[in-house]
């Protein structure tokens, strides 16, 4: 695991892949829970019987936003921050969903630091996160994430 103690440490990682996660299974229960939490009950996500008849692989697929929401869980152990007072999600610059995630698939995250800058007394870290589906060439999702990290003085 990489350790970041300062903005300078983060700048030294620009252009570096900082981690590749373990695989995580996307099961129907997780998709159904996400549908409940977001009120997005589109049949391609939750109707397994209809999906058997009408979907190309005969399976429901995960919500794109579920795939996106898994980024913190998949990448959370890539870098350790020392002397950190707090961290906040600052948003996203760009997100693209390139391939569906069929239920039963395994996903993993891969992250690269794009830019580290000082902003408002904190580290603004811009990273590219690729969510890969096991056995597929195209990533399910590529997102440019922004995090603000405030170090203890």
pLDDT single digits (tens) 60-87 = 999 999 999 999 999 999 999 999 999 9
Distance CA 22, CA 73 (A): 10
Residue-level pLDDT at 153 = 72
Q: What is the pLDDT of residues 90-114, one digit of tens each?
A: 999 999 999 999 999 999 999 999 9
Residue 146, number of CB atoms within 10 A of its CB: 18
Distance CA 111, CA 78 (A): 8
Distance CA 46, CA 56 (A): 15
């Amino acid at each position: 695991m990489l350790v970041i103690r300062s903005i300078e440490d983060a700048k030294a990682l620009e252009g570096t892949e900082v981690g590749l996660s373990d695989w995580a299974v996307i099961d129907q229960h997780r998709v159904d829970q996400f549908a409940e939490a977001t009120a997005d009950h589109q049949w391609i996500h939750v109707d397994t019987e209809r999906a058997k008849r009408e979907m190309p692989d005969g399976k429901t697929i995960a919500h794109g936003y579920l795939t996106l929401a898994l980024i913190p869980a998949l990448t959370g152990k890539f870098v350790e921050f020392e002397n950190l007072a707090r961290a906040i999600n600052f948003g996203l610059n760009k997100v693209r969903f390139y391939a569906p995630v069929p239920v039963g698939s395994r996903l993993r995250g891969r992250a690269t630091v794009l830019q580290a800058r000082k902003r408002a007394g904190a580290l603004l870290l811009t990273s590219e996160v690729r969510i890969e589906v096991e056995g597929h060439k195209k990533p399910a999702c590529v997102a440019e994430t922004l995090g603000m990290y405030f170090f203890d003085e």
